[in-house]
Amino acid sequence: MVEVERVENLAKSGIKSIPKEYIRPKEELESINDVFQEEKKEVGPQVPTMDLQNIESEDETIREKCIEELKKASMDWGVMHLVNHGVPFDLMERVKRAGEEFFGLPVEEKENGQLEWEDYFFHLVYPEDKRDLSLWPKTPSDYIEATSEYAKCLRLLATKVFKALSVGLGLEPDRLEKEVGGLEELLLQKKINYYPKCPQPELALGVEAHTDVSALTFILHNMVPGLQLFYEGKWVIAKCVPDSIVMHIGDTLEILSNGKFKSILHRGLVNKEKVRISWAVFCEPPKDKIVLKPLPEMVSAETPAKFPPRTFAQHIEHKLFRRNEQEELVPETKD
């Protein structure tokens, strides 16, 4: 299903204040600050940058050092900027350009929906035999080709990351990828988020606080800050790193690792000066074919299983149920 939200219409209407249904609760407003000022801060924790150049090095010592750094970032933060990731920069630019052109189309060529200060477009991009190209934009003309090539590159990158994280946990290299569906069943879902300029950014959120349900999430952006992570009890803005891909560890890997890897709470801020666009690709296991639970090797008398067995679909339902029940901004206790 294609979904495109129409916050853009509000932003272009010239309103000076946002409708009350977009205003966040008081407890959230206390932590919403100017994204550009936040990005300039040099003190405090910073989202790590992970260089993948040596992730498959033939030199065992160099390779192991890279894997150890990836493991540490996945356990401590659960999010990082990837550099030397192997995805061609010109392809990344084509993907961005196609997405920007799509959101520049007249409203009639897109569809409607929800109540955060963002518009979005969502569709499955891999495996190729599971795609429905009838849902993909025909305009701009390069959208299908650029997105298809990018999906293939991300699928290769996901395999590299799964292998390294498996080894980091002391497992066989192909273990985590098998556990999330392997080449045939792991789904790559693409979501383009479009955050228009907001006349009152101090009152709104582009995306409310959440953790990703995926195994991995890969994100491109247009170098406008907005991603914020809840780290050690405080909201931390992610700085923009040129030519990088932001990678999140999702709930799926947190469950399989029995909490060793971290699925971090995060949200999206907006601003009144610049449009922000991000291109997220979620690597997800099949909804009902696999039961997600901590791997036996991750469970012991000292570290019992932290998560009950659930299919991916059941995990999503559980999160939605808890969200509807609680509706409060605190990091979930993932049970």
Which residues does the annotation mark as catalytic?
Answer: 191, 210, 212, 266
Q: Partners of 283 in the beta sheet?
A: 188, 216
| Element at 40 (helix H, strand E) | helix 35-40
3-state secondary structure 200-263: CHHHCCCEEEECCCCCEEEEEECCCCCEEEEECCEEEECCCCCCCEEEEECHHHHHHCCCCCCC
Q: Is 309 exposed, middle or buried (0-12, 13-18, 19+ CB in 10 A)?
A: exposed
Q: Of the candidates 170, 333, 320, which has an alpha carbon nearest to the alpha carbon of residue 257?
A: 170
DSSP tag of 100: H
Number of H helices, E strands in the chain: 10, 13
Residue 258, C-beta contacts closer than 8 angstroms, at least 6 positions apart: 294, 295, 298, 299, 303, 305, 306, 307
CA-CA distances (angstroms) from residue 102 to 92, 108, 143, 193?
A: 16, 12, 8, 12
| Tokens found for residue 55 | 């992730």
Q: Which residue has the tokens 């891909």?
A: 245
CA-CA distances (angstroms) from residue 120 to 241, 267, 295?
A: 23, 15, 35
DSSP tag of 32: -
